[in-house]
Chains A and B, each alone.
Chain A
Amino acid sequence: MRVVLAEDLFLLRDGLVRMLEAYGFEIAAAVETGPELSKALAELEPDVALVDVRLPPSHTDEGLQCALAARRARPGLPVLVLSQHVEQLYARELLADGNGGIGYLLKDRVFDADQFIGAVRRVAAGGTAMDPQVISHLLSRRSQDKPMGGLTPREREVMELVAQGRSNTAIAAQLVITERAIAKHTSNIFGKLGLPPSDDDNRRVLAVLAYLDRG
């Protein structure tokens, strides 16, 4: 699997390259600035891109903008965005096209290599990987609010894991209930969020987006 990596701090870039190579990824390019990233994304056609939000030369959200622009040019291009902080605002923008293949994680998550690599693979396969923190802000807010979208506590728990990008199997394992129960919960959630029934995987992305939008 070919990866384009954009990170301006040498130590972190180097560490990520080593980790990805150790897990059998091929590094197509490891760049440190926004313009280099745009060029690499356009020319190398990677299977997945790992992008730091803040990149030189502007040191604003250049990485995020490059990733969004590349996805406009090539819809569904898998991008995993890394940052020192997570914002619901950015999560919404990333998910807005509803195409999936999106990840948004705190840089801390690289501490757990297995989980991190799992997230990279999930994104590359067109799934999502949202940092639990993006969702947890929402949940803490909801608890003081009226029950949003009428989700039951159990459904919210499931929603949180769906938002993180877990599969039904993984969610079932974590909550120690059967996969069939999870399937029932998710279809209830989709219904309550007003998403039409279909077998499309994108429905999970749309569900997250709908959930974020109610914030």
Chain B
Amino acid sequence: MLAAGRGLVLSVYGLAVSIIMFVLAVLSITFILLGIGVFTTPVVLEGVRRHANQRRLWAADWSGVRIPVPYRPFPPDLRKGVTGQVERTTLLLKDPATWRDLQWLLVDMTAGTVLAVVAAGLMIYPIESVVLAAGLWRAFQDDPYWYGFVPVSSQLTGLVALALGIALFHLGLRAAEPVLRAHFLLARTLLAPTPEQTLARRVDRLTETRHEAVDTAASELRRIERDLHDGAQARLVAMGMNLGTIESLIEKDPAQAKKLLATARESSAEALTELRDLVRGIHPPVLAERGLGDAVKALALRLPVATEVTVELPGRAEASVESAAYFAVSEALTNAVKHADGDRIWVDLHHGEGMLRISVTDNGGGGARIGSGSGLSGIERRLGTFDGVLAVSSPAGGPTMVTMELPCALS
């Protein structure tokens, strides 16, 4: 029944809007020659896109047909005023998705509408047979009314029509859903990005994340170099110097030599501590020894805020993914400790459907946002290299929930 109602919405509302949008779009694009079109086209095409997006939404909600959005994003530095408008129109017209949208409008108002009408009609048409059999047949006693292939002119033929109606209704019960689905599959052929578009977007995304990955790696190396240079390396130099002095002092002034030996030992201990911290920053030992779950647990034990960790990982992910996930969690936890001002944190790690899902929740004040320079955008960059995504829910007043998803296989 629901499918019939939806088919009705599609065949009435969908058809009307499709026709209006198509006419407006064609007119507007034609008027570009006259100049006015430059100003109307972005508005009209925006409407077309909204209409198409509405259909994408229904496809997913009603029939589980996922139709990805193919539109190219506008560059962020689009100018304002007339030049901006011209630029916008040009960009829109250059986007193949615009033309495919228009093609879809045509297909939608013909074949698409037919499918929608069938989905709705199989359930609605039988109502007429009930009315006919109930007595309306009397009106057609002289001139038979054709219900389907049944000429209705008497009670008997009225009942035959009713039988046909019931049969159609049953057919509708079974067929409406698949027909509705067929409507959306038809829409998908034009509304989904073409393989070339998909590839082009993929290439854009890869280029972007590769740049970021290379930049991050380079700055990490610089940081490690600086830490070694100012830390362990300097301490070893001091130690060597001390040992040299001790060598020359050992006979003349044993007491002083002993004092220096103690300093040398101290230096070596400090160098070790610094190296240990550095190693933790490069690749935490627990991560290497135990994997992601225990590494996050060990990390949680070091936090000044009570943290509960739930892990459901039946195996280990690739080392690079583990590392990215670990540092993402680490950054999320640091953020929570530094900014959230709560007194509890929950971390949940689990794997399902080829995705590693991690959530970090705190009971703090909320108001966290992904923005330039914040720890959260750092996490986004880290995950981006692995096609991972980050979502933040942080209403004012809290709680804050940071969710991460990384595609990966466990072994």
A137-B276 in contact (CB<8A): no
Q: With an 8 A cutoff between CB atoms, is B289 at the interface? A: yes
Q: With an 8 A cutoff between CB atoms, is B297 at the interface? A: yes
Within 8 A of A (CB), among B284-303: 285-286, 288-290, 294, 297-298, 301-303
With contact pairs A87-B286, A145-B306 given, residues A137 and B268 touching in the complex (Cβ less than 8 Å)? no
Q: With an 8 A cutoff between CB atoms, is B280 at the interface? A: yes
Q: With an 8 A cutoff between CB atoms, is A84 at the interface? A: yes
A54-B289 in contact (CB<8A): yes
Which of B272, B297, B302 is packed against the most chain A CB atoms within 10 Å? B302
- Name A84's contact: one of B276, B297, B302, B306 (CB within 8 Å): B276
Nearest CB on B from A58, distance (A)? 9
B289-A61 in contact (CB<8A): yes
A87-B298 in contact (CB<8A): yes
The proximity string for A residues 120-157 relative to B, scoring 1 for CB distances below 8 Å and 0 otherwise, is 00000000000000000100110011000000000000
Chain B residues whose C-beta falls within 8 Å of the C-beta of A145 in the assembled complex = 304, 306
How many residues belonging to B are interface residues under a CB distance threshold of 8 Å? 21
With contact pairs A108-B269, A111-B269, A145-B306 given, residues A215 and B289 touching in the complex (Cβ less than 8 Å)? no
Q: With an 8 A cutoff between CB atoms, is A66 at the interface? A: no
With contact pairs A141-B303, A215-B301 given, residues A89 and B265 touching in the complex (Cβ less than 8 Å)? no
B304-A141 in contact (CB<8A): yes
Q: Tell me, in angstroms, the Cα distance from A141 to B303 when the chains sit together.
A: 7
B304-A88 in contact (CB<8A): no
Q: With an 8 A cutoff between CB atoms, is A85 at the interface? A: yes
B289-A53 in contact (CB<8A): yes
Which of A85, A137, A141 is packed against the most chain B CB atoms within 10 Å? A85
B294-A111 in contact (CB<8A): no
Chain A residues whose C-beta falls within 8 Å of the C-beta of B273 in the assembled complex = 108
Q: Tell me, in angstroms, the Cα distance from A61 to B294 when the chains sit together.
A: 12
Within 8 A of A (CB), among B261-291: 265, 268-269, 272-273, 276, 279-280, 285-286, 288-290
Within 8 A of B (CB), among A82-136: 83-85, 87-89, 108, 111
Q: Tell me, in angstroms, the Cα distance from A3 to B276 when the chains sit together.
A: 28
B286-A89 in contact (CB<8A): yes
Q: Tell me, in angstroms, the Cα distance from A83 to B302 when the chains sit together.
A: 18
B301-A60 in contact (CB<8A): no
Within 8 A of B (CB), among A174-196: none
With contact pairs A88-B301, A140-B304, A141-B303 given, residues A60 and B269 touching in the complex (Cβ less than 8 Å)? no
Q: Tell me, in angstroms, the Cα distance from A141 to B290 when the chains sit together.
A: 24
Q: With an 8 A cutoff between CB atoms, is A74 at the interface? A: no
Q: With an 8 A cutoff between CB atoms, is A59 at the interface? A: yes
A89-B294 in contact (CB<8A): yes
Nearest CB on B from A105, distance (A)? 13
Q: Tell me, in angstroms, the Cα distance from A54 to B289 when the chains sit together.
A: 7
A60-B304 in contact (CB<8A): no
Q: Tell me, in angstroms, the Cα distance from A83 to B294 when the chains sit together.
A: 17
Q: Tell me, in angstroms, the Cα distance from A6 to B75 when the chains sit together.
A: 61
B285-A89 in contact (CB<8A): no
B276-A87 in contact (CB<8A): no
A111-B268 in contact (CB<8A): yes
Q: Tell me, in angstroms, the Cα distance from A60 to B322 when the chains sit together.
A: 15
Q: Tell me, in angstroms, the Cα distance from A137 to B280 when the chains sit together.
A: 15
Task: Find the A residue at minimum CB distance from B297.
Answer: A89
Q: Tell me, in angstroms, the Cα distance from A59 to B290 when the chains sit together.
A: 10
A89-B301 in contact (CB<8A): yes
Q: Tell me, in angstroms, the Cα distance from A31 to B27 when the chains sit together.
A: 85
B289-A144 in contact (CB<8A): no
A89-B298 in contact (CB<8A): yes
Chain B residues whose C-beta falls within 8 Å of the C-beta of A88 in the assembled complex = 298, 301-302
Task: Find the A residue at minimum CB distance from B290.
Answer: A61
The proximity string for B residues 89-114 relative to A, scoring 1 for CB distances below 8 Å and 0 otherwise, is 00000000000000000000000000
Q: Tell me, in angstroms, the Cα distance from A54 to B290 when the chains sit together.
A: 11
Q: Tell me, in angstroms, the Cα distance from A141 to B276 when the chains sit together.
A: 20
B286-A84 in contact (CB<8A): no
Chain B residues whose C-beta falls within 8 Å of the C-beta of A61 in the assembled complex = 289-290
Chain B residues whose C-beta falls within 8 Å of the C-beta of A85 in the assembled complex = 276, 279-280, 285-286
Nearest CB on B from A113, distance (A)? 11
Chain A residues whose C-beta falls within 8 Å of the C-beta of B265 in the assembled complex = 111
Nearest CB on A from B209, distance (A)? 30
Chain B residues whose C-beta falls within 8 Å of the C-beta of A87 in the assembled complex = 286, 298, 301
Q: Tell me, in angstroms, the Cα distance from A140 to B303 when the chains sit together.
A: 10
B272-A108 in contact (CB<8A): yes
Chain A residues whose C-beta falls within 8 Å of the C-beta of B272 in the assembled complex = 108
Nearest CB on A from B102, distance (A)? 59
A84-B304 in contact (CB<8A): no
A60-B290 in contact (CB<8A): yes
Nearest CB on B from A63, distance (A)? 10
Chain A residues whose C-beta falls within 8 Å of the C-beta of B306 in the assembled complex = 145
Contacts A108-B269, A141-B304 known; list 5 others, CB within 8 Å. A53-B289, A54-B285, A85-B276, A88-B301, A111-B265
Which A residues form the contact surface with B (CB < 8 A)?
A: 53-54, 59-61, 64, 83-85, 87-89, 108, 111, 137, 140-141, 144-145, 215
Q: Can you report 9 residue pairs joining A to B where beta carbons are below 8 Å apart?
A: A60-B289, A85-B279, A87-B286, A88-B301, A89-B286, A89-B297, A111-B265, A141-B304, A145-B306
